Amino acid sequence: MIEVSRLVKRHGTKVVVRDVSFTARAGRVTGFLGPNGAGKSSTLRILLGLDSADAGTALIGGKPYRALRNPLRTVGSLLEGSGAHRSRTARGHLSWVAASNGIPRSRVPEVLDLVGLGDVGRKRVGGFSLGMNQRLGLAAALLGDPEVLVLDEPVNGLDPHGIRWLREFLRARAATGRTVLLSSHLMSELASTADDLVVIHHGEIVHSGPKGDVTTGHASLEDAFFALTDREDRWDS
Ligand SMILES: Nc1ncnc2c1ncn2[C@@H]1O[C@H](COP(=O)(O)OP(=O)(O)OP(=O)(O)O)[C@@H](O)[C@H]1O
């Protein structure tokens, strides 16, 4: 479970995350939805211990990321591609991540198979497509078989087959009682994948709850999103 409470992040005088609170529950896929620049990555970076908050807390299984003993066994994340060096092979990259996190090397071929890269494990990452690189990042996130997955815009670069595969993979993951938090600016993606939605706009949460609650009274998730964010713009003015 992920619990974000009254989180604030400033860059200079600009407040990019403003009193953000939400929960991502076990056994559910939670979609974190907002347009570019809304504050999704800033929130996720704090959650994953890559940046510090000016106020508030972001907890994974009741602890801040930096207090986790074996972070990769608790939470797997995909932020921007795989981070693998071009000259490394997929296996080489994953073996290095596994070794530096006390995870047995035998897990490497397992996660390569899980993400559909079983046949290209000995190929260099420099020759990978964007979609393959995303799959490699996901493989690294899965190395520790974590309870919690945090993915920032994971469908970037995936072809339609890959998008469908990822949707089914994440739904299956949640069905085993794990927590999945998935950020996207693509409403269509979250409409078909998420159970719960957290909508962020201008650094503020404008709605959170079961997907059905967000769409009630609207023809589609897209209509609901524009209604929520238009309302927010009126508050601004
Ligand atoms: N290091 C930084 N210094 C100054 N401003 C920043 C910094 N990082 C992010 N911002 C600003 O914070 C706001 C939120 O950015 P953030 O990346 O969290 O949004 P996002 O919802 O993830 O959008 P995107 O999908 O475009 O990354 C934006 O206005 C961005 O310009």
Average pLDDT, the chain: 90
Closest by CA to 167, choosing from 200, 143, 189, is 189
Here the tokens at position 25 are 């529950």
Confidence of residue 136 (pLDDT cuts 50, 70, 90): very high
For residues 71 and 56, give the distance between their C-alpha atoms in angstroms, rounded to a whole number: 21
**Nearest atom in ligand 1 to 17's CA:** 14
For ligand 1, atom 1, name the residue with the nearest CA. Answer: 11
pLDDT tens digits for range 175-190: 999 999 999 888 878 8
pLDDT at 83: 75
pLDDT tens digits, one per residue of 80-132: 766 778 889 999 999 999 998 899 999 999 999 999 999 999 999 999 988 89
User: Model's pTM, two decimal places?
Assistant: 0.90
By most ligand atoms within 8 Å of CB, the mutation choice from 15, 41, 151, 200 for ligand 1 is: 41
Ligand 1: which of 13, 16, 202 to mutate, judged by most atoms within 8 Å of the beta carbon? 16
Ligand 1 proximal residues by C-beta, below 6 Å: 11, 16, 34, 36-42, 185
Q: How far is the CA of 8 from the centre of ligand 1 (A)?
A: 13
Residue % of the chain over a pLDDT of 90: 68
Which amino acid type is present at position 33? L
* Interface pTM, i.e. ipTM: 0.90
Q: How far is the CA of 185 from the centre of ligand 1 (A)?
A: 13
Arithmetic mean of pLDDT, 133-148: 94
